Structure 1
Amino acid sequence: MRLAQGIVIDKEKTFGLLKFSALRREVFLQNEDGTVSTEVKERTYDLKSREQGRMIQVSIPASIPLKKFDYNAEVELINPVADTVANATFRGADVDWYIKADDLVLKGKAATSTSNVSKSTPDKEK
């Protein structure tokens, strides 16, 4: 079975209260010759999850600006998805789960991608 779009997550039931911890790592793109470029592909953040009872790592695209929230600030994920990556081994395969999201925002704040709604009124006809 292949889930091309990953597994959509119910944020409240899966993670509960999320608190920001830190930037864990930045993943860089590779050049054609295999060397690492200076262009960031994605950033992974450590978040404390009350429902999971431990720290989780969530990857956000590099097109989203670097997050510099206060330690323990309450945050929420925008469109989180769980997915897997498998690596072949001598005995079969090792499978790792990972979580990615469109954005990470302070709890109660609108996401940057959804805040561009125009609130202007249409012009009246003369």
Structure 2
Amino acid sequence: MRLAQGIVIDKEKTFGLLKFSSLRREVFLQNEDGTVSSEVKERTYDLKSREQGRMIQVSIPASVPLKDFDYNAEVELMDPVADTVANATFRGADVDWYIKADDLILKGKTATSSTNNQKSTPNKEK
């Protein structure tokens, strides 16, 4: 059982402040014969969530470059979605939750880079 589109998340209320911890694992595609290929499908990162009070894992598509942020760097998820996978058991079902996002960026990075560009332009004119 899967939710059709997943559950869209309010980042601030759900996660609060997020801090980068590490790359947890890479998931690889399978070849036609069932063996594991060398092509990465997605990467899962460990993030510290203040609102959850614990570490969370978030999967990002492999099309996004590998993230190697400093430990405890403040990060932000782009378009996070929570989803589930349920497997029937003799006593009911086991349900696993997972979180996926389109990207993982440093918090405030965009604002900082545009500020630096504005400051450096007048200095070049002098």
Deviations 1:91-113 (A, max 9, x none): 22211000000000000124xxx
Q: Distance in 2 between matches of 1:36 and 1:79?
A: 29
The answer for the alignment partner of 1:40 in structure 2 is: 40
After TM superposition, what 4+ stretches of structure 1 lie above 2 angstroms from structure 2?
none
Moved more, 62-71 or 82-91: 82-91
Equivalent position amino acid for 2:32 in 1: E
Q: Distance in 1 between matches of 2:34 and 2:91?
A: 29
> For this pair of structures, how many residues does the alignment match?
110
The answer for the alignment partner of 1:78 in structure 2 is: 78
Query: What's the secondary structure of 1:13's corresponding residue?
Result: helix
The within-5 A match list for 1:30-109 is 30-109=30-109
Once the 2 structures are TM-superposed, how far is the Cα of residue 33 of structure 1 from its aligned partner? 1.0
The answer for the alignment partner of 2:21 in structure 1 is: 21
Moved more, 90-99 or 77-86: 90-99
TM-score (norm: length of structure 1): 0.83
Higher helix share: 2
RMSD: 1.3
TM-score (norm: length of structure 2): 0.83
Q: Distance in 1 between matches of 2:88 and 2:25?
A: 25
Percent identity between matched residues is 93
Q: Which runs of 5+ in 1 are unaligned?
A: 111-126
Q: Distance in 2 between matches of 1:3 and 1:108?
A: 32
